[in-house]
Chains A and B, each alone.
Chain A
Amino acid sequence: MQKDGIGKQPAIRRIKGKLAGLPAISYALGMLVLFIAIFAVGSATFLTRYNMLTIGNSAAILLAVAMGQVFAILTGGIDLSVGGIMSLVSVVLMKTLEPLGFWAYPLSLAVGIAAGFLNGLVNSRLRIPSFITTLGSNGIFMSIAYMISIKPLSAPSSSFGVLDIVNGTTLGIRNIMLLGVLVFVLFFVIQRYTITGRNIMLLGSNEKMSWLSGVDIFKVRTIAFTLSGLGAALAGVMLASNLYSGYPTLGTVYILNSIASVVIGGTAMTGGAGGVLNTLVGVMVMSVINNGMNIIGIDVYAQQSFLGVLVIIAVAISFDRSKLSVIK
């Protein structure tokens, strides 16, 4: 099994006994519990209801982007345009909120889906690597958002009621968190219980094999990027509603954060292994770290370094090397 270094684990993962057989996600989950414990000990206010709602709120948005991103990554690709799509969607939502009311939501989502579909087409039909396709289209989506409005758009006060779809509360829980759960269930079902979901996994683990077994690679890849567009669009409308605003740089920080969450959850960047469930855990880890750093009062100058080190540690522990022969 150790031939050619396949499945070789570094010392950090070579724990003897029962632990060694656990799936990658259990490491990520263990880490989540560990971080929660550390922050809870560090500050009595970390585990308050108010703060949990705060974490849940930001996690819901990151979750939506990451749910889309993970499909792009599962095929072995990457989607660097999620930031551009989120920004574009936020601007479209704010622009159409007054004339369309509630219907601005489906319209904005459609824009995001179309953007993802375009990515998929360029990637699969023109045969351009997804890194380049989405790096380029990210700029294009941002520019379109600038064309719609250079200034940040704010929600007209007459539309605050419509925005309560996201901002309101149901049974004491913020709607945005319920939406997050719905988004998770949606993507979970797509991955586990649809043919497309299975084909995406197959494509990522062995492209030639899936081609030979008759899978329409072009179509599957296009669908994966469309799903990524959908995730970004969902995140875009949630974030825009949350902030009562839309502007052309709104989504930028989510590009790398979404990728980091996916990888922390244990999904391999080469595709095939991991998935939606892993990503849920990865997103929780990221959100807990981001919130916890403020709660336990890490010096603001040090926060970015702290985040970087934690991400490295998290991935070093949770990354599943068992199926990989080469780590790039």
Chain B
Amino acid sequence: MKKRGLLIIALAMLVLVTPLFAQGGKEAAASPTTLSIAIRTLTNPYQANYKVGADMLGKLEGLPVVTLTCEGSSEKQLNDVRALVAKTNGNVVFMIDPNESPNVIPLARELDAAGVYWVSWWNKPEDVKVWNYKNWVSHISFDGISAGEFTAETLFKSFGYEGKIIALQGLLSNSIAQDRFVGLQNILKKHPKVQMVAFEAADWDRTIAYEKTRNMLVAHPDIKGIWAANDNMALGALEALRAVGRAGQVLVTGVDGTTEIYEAIKKGEAAATVYNDSTYQAGIGLAIALAAKNGELDVAKMPKEQRQFFAEATNVDINNVDEIMKGASSYDFENLFASFSRPMN
């Protein structure tokens, strides 16, 4: 028994160790640069549109596109990125939406070591600075506070700035969830007659939002509005209102800008949303990284405000929803910093 065990160990070790000495990578240089986006999932429309943007740029530049999804696992995201660096021998650029904000640290160190240029969106710890890394070209985010402020303001206006509301927060561990909530709280302070009587975290999820809203509606049947940190949760809350026969009387708001919430705005069931164009996010992120890779951008000489900045998002309410629904006719991936709104410290 023991002998066989040892034999098997030896075999296993052999299998594992042999490739360590193999050297691949003869193909490298000639092949075209791969464009890659590393995102969370393709099971929600917002994230799925990243792929649309990446494919769009790929077609424009005639370069291959690879999508990596981590399904909520930070480690998988890191490993998938490593695997692709291996596959392409470093001839790749990334647009990454980090699964959790601190993950940018290992990504930045790994990609610095491999000499691969990349751009991140949304999540980054405040004390980690892009300019401390030579291959991390830019970190871009939409302004969560102003998004929360706009949707709250529009929601309160719908009932005349007087009454009770409830709120649905996103995954509390995401900094963007907290930023948007700060925006809501800022507006609550401005209008003392509006009261937030309850809030729950619904983890960006429609089903959870439905159930939590149904439960909150029992305790607070007299609310005038529901503020949600994204469209998905807003739509869950809307169906919960429909179940108790109050859809259209009590309005909801979200953030993201999905077709479903636009239709709800047109029907008078939702008040507002903020359109974050993930198609553009992926395309422009890759375009910036590609420019650095091709030497069109000298990362070391870029001003700090191009390395970390907030991008402009589109506020949507009943006044402009039709126009937004027509969609952008074309995207401009040439002008790399056109969406700049304000620098991020």
Which residues of chain A have a CB within 8 Å of any CB of chain B?
23, 25-26, 29, 32-33, 36, 43-45, 47-54, 56-58, 61, 150-157, 192, 239, 242-245, 247-250, 252-253, 277, 280-281, 284, 290-291, 294-295, 297, 300-301, 303-304
Contacts and interface: CB of A to CB of B under 8 A. Distances in A.
Contacts of A56: 16
Given A153-B102, A243-B78, A245-B103, A294 B84 contact: yes
B85 interface: yes
A239 B75 contact: yes
Contacts of A57: 79, 82
Contact of A291 (B24, B79, B128): B79
A44 B89 CA distance: 11
Interface residues of B, number: 52
Contacts of B68: 294, 300
B332 to A, nearest CB: 27
A152 B23 contact: no
A152 B27 contact: no
B5 to A, nearest CB: 6
Interface of B: 4-5, 8-9, 11-12, 15-16, 19-27, 42, 66-69, 71-76, 78-80, 82-89, 100-103, 105-106, 125, 127-128, 172-173, 175, 178
A284 B106 contact: no
The DSSP consensus for interface residues of chain A is helix
Contact of A252 (B19, B72, B88, B178): B72
Given A33-B15, A47-B24, A245 B86 contact: no
B72 A249 contact: yes
Q: Which of B11, B42, B100, B101 has the most CB of A within 10 A?
A: B100
Nearest to A248: B173
Nearest to A156: B127
A301 B42 contact: yes
Contacts of A295: 83, 86-87
Contact of B100 (A29, A247, A290): A247
Q: Rank and list the top 6 A-B pairs by shortest CB-CB distance, nearest first.
A: A245-B102, A154-B102, A48-B24, A51-B86, A244-B105, A54-B82
A301 B82 CA distance: 20
Contacts of B42: 300-301
A50 B20 CA distance: 8
27 contacts: A32-B15, A33-B15, A44-B24, A45-B86, A45-B88, A48-B25, A48-B86, A50-B86, A51-B86, A51-B87, A53-B20, A54-B79, A58-B75, A152-B100, A152-B102, A154-B105, A155-B102, A239-B75, A242-B78, A243-B75, A243-B78, A243-B103, A243-B106, A249-B173, A294-B68, A297-B66, A301-B42
